[in-house]
């Protein structure tokens, strides 16, 4: 056991801290995820900066897109997961907003870097990274959720164009997006996992219709996207025909591992402690009430376990021979369920006041607790439900048998 | 940077595992629990002494191996996994640690060397410092000790006992003192030896440095809680492994019950809950060794959280085994009971959480 990263990293940490001091209280505007960030920023401070501007500052410093080559708009450094985790930690501690992620940056860019043609890399990565071009992800369909590979949106090659018909759902940011990376069935006669292609679709192509899908938070964060004879160039494909499932899975793995950042969990826990110190019931602070204290301590135990778990996973990436296959598979399930438990305690601590929403009098933290309480229920479901996670853990982690296949009616 | 057990620690775990697999078979544990094989624990104990568990954390100058707390948690985990009926946490971690912290040079020389040579073996009673029950109370006065220590662990064949009073002052008493009455307590878990001590003007040797104070005794309690959590971690992992294995063999409705999602999801939940416990315990042990300002927080949560997870696993694994899980024949209950005892030792989960909320100023 050795938790020392070496002096090079100490000085890097100092440098990041200096940066955090300089931008203390910064508030990023124009982000697509306002409501969550309302709870994460200091409303007293007036240091406002646009999300695009902030992104540029972070990339220039190497605090975002660190290992993405300069020619594609990144910082052009080595992939250094220790530096990344130092940046995460220090930003969380100082309540400095991260660079903007989103599906284009988190999923499309890594995919293109690995599987894209040179032309695709040149054309798409930089605008996505600098938020000049917003991407959305077209994976799920009304009849293809947990069983994603059964998707039916159809793509037929007609001369040098794909003609696409069908429907996607749960498409976040579709209404802002200029582009979609999309899974489409192009080989109807192939087995279901081998008949899918990964296509890149401009959202202003005729035949695309977007209908907002309002979720329980009352945000229209999701959309349904309908395709009627949508024509895109035949070259807008990543990988070969029929390889789409493989291409997409590279980033799905990434998605499942990335949810539940321990540093963010710790700072959210600290916010909960603050809430419990300020909320009073009959004049007594919530944190002094044994029932709430006990629940708070239960959550702290889980938060600390997950924080240490982050070190274990980090260590396995830095050192050979540490088997963390199972330890990695549990992160999405554990992280999202725990986060929901944390937000639920905040709601219970506020009691009736915890039901207030929108612009109600007596609202706490801009409604952020209530919003997050619902939002994290969404995360338990999205990106592979907890039940799908348990299938993965039991089958791939514990070696238990798959459910026997049932002949489809 | 490396977070986890070293190769050396892992290979020592493997040595213990093999030893227990050969010597502490489920059949022997069963016989001992039925009252046969009375010398079985002592045979186990001797074998483990040959592997060096007594001198693990004792500095080399006193004849020990001078290894760290992380190493000790790795051993504790292996002993829990094998439900080994052998002393360890009290005799070979807490007692030497207390003497190292708060003993005089002479006491260190005498007792630590004695433990390393396997001539001295301590039972440890810290319960009255944590929470007194049944009016147990210990009074030190003029070199004498009076009262009762209710829950003394690793008590079998002890030559000495290390006892704390309610204020956290530690003393050593000799097990053949004429004023000492030793009463065996029978717990659900017969793999652990627990006694009550009744003391009537027993000679007490106070740990004789200024470090014998409640701060250090709290640290000792933290260490004990961490070690117990590690023991439960080992026991809980075995219960998951057994559940998975059983579910793949047992067939109902024409298929292995492990192919039903109802069963798979129980196993997945157990694994999801236990995996982060490894990380928690390793970090906690590391903090004991190197980050003292975090060790109380980490050790407390290790005890509380791992106990909860292990209890859940003990119940769930038994359910996966169905009726067989409930039988003595299968013997799964030895792990269940070990986890059940560990949960209560040195402060139950609710007590520990209340303490750690206090110690953070909440």
Does A287 sit within 8 Å of B305, measured CB to CB?
no
Backbone phi, psi, residue B77, to 5°:
-60, -45
Average pLDDT, chain B: 96
Does A391 sit within 8 Å of B1, measured CB to CB?
no
**Nearest chain A residue (CA) to B273:** A334
What span, in angstroms and rounded, lies between the C-alpha atoms of B27 and B226? 30
- A1 contact B CB<8A: yes
Does residue B31 form part of some domain? yes
- Residues of B within 8 A of A389 (CB-CB) are 268, 272
Mean predicted confidence (pLDDT) in B171-184:
97
What percentage of chain B carries pLDDT values higher than 70? 100
B285 and B259 within one domain: yes
- Residues of B within 8 A of A403 (CB-CB) are 259-261
For residue B133, what is the domain's CATH number?
2.40.110.10
The shortest C-alpha distance from B126 to chain A (Å) reads 24
Which pLDDT value is given to residue A41?
46
Helix (H, G, I), strand (E, B) or coil at B18: helix
Does residue B161 form part of some domain? yes
The shortest C-alpha distance from B185 to chain A (Å) reads 31
Helix (H, G, I), strand (E, B) or coil at B76: helix
HSE (side-chain half, CA atoms, 13 Å) at A190: 17
Mean predicted confidence (pLDDT) in B289-311:
98
Which pLDDT value is given to residue A259?
47
Using CB atoms within 10 A of its CB, is residue A143 exposed (0-12), middle (13-18) or buried (19+)? exposed
Does A300 sit within 8 Å of B268, measured CB to CB?
no
What span, in angstroms and rounded, lies between the C-alpha atoms of A169 and A159? 28
- Residues of B within 8 A of A398 (CB-CB) are 240, 244, 264, 267-268, 271
B333 and B201 within one domain: no
Structural domains counted in chain B: 3
The shortest C-alpha distance from B269 to chain A (Å) reads 7
Q: Where are the alpha helices (DSSP H) in B36-94?
A: 40-51, 69-81
B95 and B23 within one domain: yes
Does residue B152 form part of some domain? yes
For residue B73, what is the domain's CATH number?
1.10.540.10
Name the DSSP class of B295.
H
Which pLDDT value is given to residue A406?
80
Does residue B2 form part of some domain? no
Which pLDDT value is given to residue A39?
43
What span, in angstroms and rounded, lies between the C-alpha atoms of B111 and A349? 52
B98 and B218 within one domain: no
Of residues A255, A337, A341, A395, which has the active-site annotation? A255
pTM of the entire predicted model? 0.93
Does residue B291 form part of some domain? yes
For the stretch B9-54, pLDDT in tens is: 999 999 999 999 999 999 999 999 888 998 899 999 999 999 999 9
- Residues of B within 8 A of A318 (CB-CB) are 1-2
**Nearest chain A residue (CA) to B280:** A305
Which pLDDT value is given to residue A98?
86
B318 and B182 within one domain: no
Which pLDDT value is given to residue A263?
78
B109 and B27 within one domain: yes
B330 and B264 within one domain: yes
User: Over 90: is that where the pLDDT of B253 sits?
Assistant: yes
What span, in angstroms and rounded, lies between the C-alpha atoms of B82 and B19? 9
**Which one, of A341, A303, A256, A317, lies nearest residue B280 by Cα?**
A303
What span, in angstroms and rounded, lies between the C-alpha atoms of A364 and B228? 41
What span, in angstroms and rounded, lies between the C-alpha atoms of B98 and B101? 5
* Residue spans per domain, chain A: 7-99, 106-243, 259-397
Assess whether A37 carries a catalytic annotation: no
Name the DSSP class of B188.
S
Provide the angle, in degrees to the nearest 10, between the axes of the packed helices A290-318 and A81-94: 160
**Which one, of A157, A168, A369, lies nearest residue A268 by Cα?**
A369
User: Over 90: is that where the pLDDT of B245 sits?
Assistant: yes
Does residue B348 form part of some domain? yes
- Residues of A within 8 A of B70 (CB-CB) are 1
Which pLDDT value is given to residue A262?
78
B355 and B224 within one domain: yes
Does A330 sit within 8 Å of B271, measured CB to CB?
yes
Domain closes at, from B116, B137, B165: B116
Residue B241 domain boundaries: 214-359
What span, in angstroms and rounded, lies between the C-alpha atoms of A87 and A89? 6
Which pLDDT value is given to residue A261?
72
B258 and B238 within one domain: yes
CATH of domain A7-99: 1.10.540
B132 and B18 within one domain: no
Which CATH number is correct for A106-243, 3.40.50.620, 2.40.110.10, 3.40.50.10140, 3.30.70.980? Answer: 2.40.110.10
Name the DSSP class of B264.
H
Evaluate whether A66 touches A239 at the Cβ level (below 8 Å).
no
Instruction: Please list the helix, strand and coil fractions of chain B in percent, rounded to the nearest 5, in that order.
Output: 60, 15, 30
Does residue B63 form part of some domain? yes
Count the Cβ atoms, other than its own, within 10 Å of residue B249: 9
Domain closes at, from B116, B140, B170: B116
Does A319 sit within 8 Å of B362, measured CB to CB?
no
B273 and B140 within one domain: no
Which of A286, A305, A328, A331 has the most B C-beta neighbours within 10 Å, making it the best mutation to test the interface with B? A305
Q: Which CATH architecture has domain A259-397?
A: Up-down Bundle (1.20)
Question: pLDDT tens string for chain A (409 positions)?
Answer: 999 998 999 999 999 999 999 999 888 888 765 544 444 444 555 678 889 999 999 999 999 999 999 999 999 998 888 898 899 889 988 989 888 888 899 889 999 999 999 999 999 999 999 999 999 999 999 999 999 999 999 999 999 999 999 999 999 889 999 999 999 999 999 999 999 999 999 999 999 999 999 999 998 889 999 999 999 999 999 999 999 999 998 766 555 445 457 778 898 999 999 999 999 999 999 999 999 999 999 999 999 999 999 999 999 989 989 999 999 999 999 999 999 999 999 999 999 999 999 999 999 999 999 999 999 999 999 888 999 999 999 999 999 999 888 876 5
Which pLDDT value is given to residue A31?
73
Minimal Cβ distance to A294: which of B70, B247, B350: B350
The 3-class SS string of chain A reads CECCCCHHHHHHHHHHHHHHHHCCCCEEECCCCHHHHHCCCCCCCCCEEEHHHHHHHHHHHCCCCCCCCHHHCCCCCCCCHHHHHHHHHHHHHHCCCCCCCCHHHHHHHHHHHHHCCHHHHHHHHHHHHCCCCCEEEECCECCECCCHHHCCCEEEEECCEEEEEEEECCCCCCCCCCEEEEEEECCCCCCHHHCEEEEEEECCCCCEEEEEECCCCCCCCEEEEEEEEEEEECCCEECCCCCHHHHHHHHHHHHHHHCCCHHHHHHHHHHHHHHHHHCEECCEEHHHCHHHHHHHHHHHHHHHHHHHHHHHHHHHHHCCCCCCHHHHHCHHHHHHHHHHHHHHHHHHHHHHHHHCCCCCCCCCHHHHHHHHHHHHHHHHHCCCCHHHHHHHHHHHHCCCCCCCCCCCC
- A300 contact B CB<8A: yes
Does B357 sit within 8 Å of A319, measured CB to CB?
no
Same topology, domains A106-243 and A259-397? Answer is no
Domain closes at, from B82, B116, B150: B116
B192 and B74 within one domain: no
Distance of alpha carbon A258 from the chain centroid: 7
Does residue B26 form part of some domain? yes
Name the DSSP class of B332.
T
What span, in angstroms and rounded, lies between the C-alpha atoms of A344 and A296? 11
The shortest C-alpha distance from A300 to chain B (Å) reads 8
- Residues of B within 8 A of A395 (CB-CB) are 264
Does A322 sit within 8 Å of B4, measured CB to CB?
yes
What span, in angstroms and rounded, lies between the C-alpha atoms of A375 and A392? 23
């Amino acid at each position: 056991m050795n938790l020392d990263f070496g002096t090079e990293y100490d000085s890097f940490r100092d440098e990041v801290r200096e940066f955090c001091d300089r931008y203390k209280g910064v508030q990023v505007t124009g982000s697509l995820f306002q409501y969550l960030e309302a709870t994460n920023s200091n409303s007293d401070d007036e240091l406002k900066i646009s999300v695009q501007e902030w992104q540029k500052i972070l990339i220039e410093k190497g605090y975002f897109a660190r290992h993405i080559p300069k020619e594609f708009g990144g910082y052009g450094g080595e992939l250094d997961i220790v530096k990344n985790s130092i940046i995460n930690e220090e930003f969380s501690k100082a309540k400095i907003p991260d660079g903007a992620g989103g599906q284009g940056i988190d999923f499309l860019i890594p995919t293109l870097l690995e599987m894209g043609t040179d032309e695709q890399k040149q054309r798409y990565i930089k605008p996505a990274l600098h938020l000049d071009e917003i991407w959305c992800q077209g994976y799920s369909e009304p009849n293809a959720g947990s069983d994603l590979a059964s998707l039916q949106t159809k793509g037929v090659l007609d001369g040098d164009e794909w003609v696409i018909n069908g429907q996607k759902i749960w498409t976040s940011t579709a209404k802002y997006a200029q582009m979609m990376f999309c899974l489409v069935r192009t080989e109807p006669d192939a087995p279901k996992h081998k008949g899918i292609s990964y296509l890149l679709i401009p959202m202003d192509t005729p035949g695309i219709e977007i209908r907002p899908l309002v979720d329980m938070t009352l945000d229209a964060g999701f959309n349904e996207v309908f395709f009627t004879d949508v024509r895109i160039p035949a070259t807008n494909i990543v990988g070969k025909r029929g390889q789409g499932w493989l291409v997409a899975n590279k980033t799905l793995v990434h998605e499942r591992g990335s949810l539940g950042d321990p540093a963010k969990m710790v700072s959210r826990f600290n916010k909960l402690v603050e809430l419990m110190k300020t909320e009073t019931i009959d004049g007594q602070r919530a944190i002094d009430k044994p029932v709430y204290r006990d629940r708070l301590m239960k959550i702290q135990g889980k938060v600390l376990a997950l924080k240490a778990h982050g070190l274990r996973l980090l260590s396995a990436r830095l050192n050979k021979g540490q088997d963390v296959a199972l330890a990695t598979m549990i992160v999405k399930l554990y992280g999202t369920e725990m986060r929901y438990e944390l937000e639920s305690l905040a709601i219970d601590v506020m009691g009736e006041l915890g039901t207030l929403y929108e612009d109600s009098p007596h609202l706490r933290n801009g409604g952020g607790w209530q919003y997050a309480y619902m939002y994290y229920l969404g995360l338990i479901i999205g990106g592979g439900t907890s039940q799908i996670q348990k299938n993965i853990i039991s089958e791939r982690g514990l070696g238990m048998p798959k459910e026997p296949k049932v002949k489809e009616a | 940077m490396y977070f986890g057990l070293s190769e050396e620690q892992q290979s020592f775990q493997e040595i213990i595992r093999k030893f227990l697999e050969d010597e502490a078979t489920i059949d022997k544990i069963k016989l001992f629990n039925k009252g046969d094989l009375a010398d079985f624990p002592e045979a186990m104990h001797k074998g483990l002494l040959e592997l060096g568990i007594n001198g693990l954390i004792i500095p080399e100058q006193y004849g020990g191996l001078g290894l760290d707390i992380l190493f000790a948690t790795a051993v504790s985990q292996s002993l829990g996994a094998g439900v080994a009926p052998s002393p360890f946490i009290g005799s070979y971690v807490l007692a030497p640690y207390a003497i190292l912290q708060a003993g005089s040079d002479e006491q260190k020389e005498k007792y630590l060397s004695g433990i390393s040579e396997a001539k001295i073996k301590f039972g440890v009673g810290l319960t009255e410092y944590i929470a007194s029950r049944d009016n147990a109370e210990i009074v030190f006065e003029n070199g004498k000790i009076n009262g009762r220590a209710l829950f003394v662990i690793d008590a079998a064949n002890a030559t000495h006992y290390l006892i704390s009073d309610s204020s956290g002052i530690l003393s050593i008493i000799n097990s053949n003192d004429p004023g000492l009455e030793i009463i065996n307590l029978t717990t659900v878990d017969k793999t652990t030896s627990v006694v009550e001590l009744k003391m009537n003007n027993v000679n007490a040797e106070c740990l004789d440095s200024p470090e014998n104070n409640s701060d250090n005794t709290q640290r000792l309690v933290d260490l004990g809680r961490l070690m117990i959590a590690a023991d439960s971690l080992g026991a809980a992992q075995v219960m998951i492994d057994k559940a998975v294995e059983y579910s793949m063999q047992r067939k109902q409705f024409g298929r292995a019950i492990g192919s039903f999602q109802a069963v798979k999801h129980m196993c997945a939940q157990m694994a999801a809950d236990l995996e982060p416990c490894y990380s928690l315990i390793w970090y906690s042990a590391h903090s004991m060794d190197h980050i003292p300002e975090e060790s109380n927080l980490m050790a407390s949560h290790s005890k509380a959280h791992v106990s909860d997870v292990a209890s859940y696993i003990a119940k769930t694994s038994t359910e996966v085994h169905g009726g067989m899980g409930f039988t003595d024949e299968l013997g799964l209950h030895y792990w269940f009971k070990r986890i059940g005892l560990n949960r209560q030792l040195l402060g139950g989960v609710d007590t520990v959480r209340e303490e750690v909320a206090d110690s953070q100023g909440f």
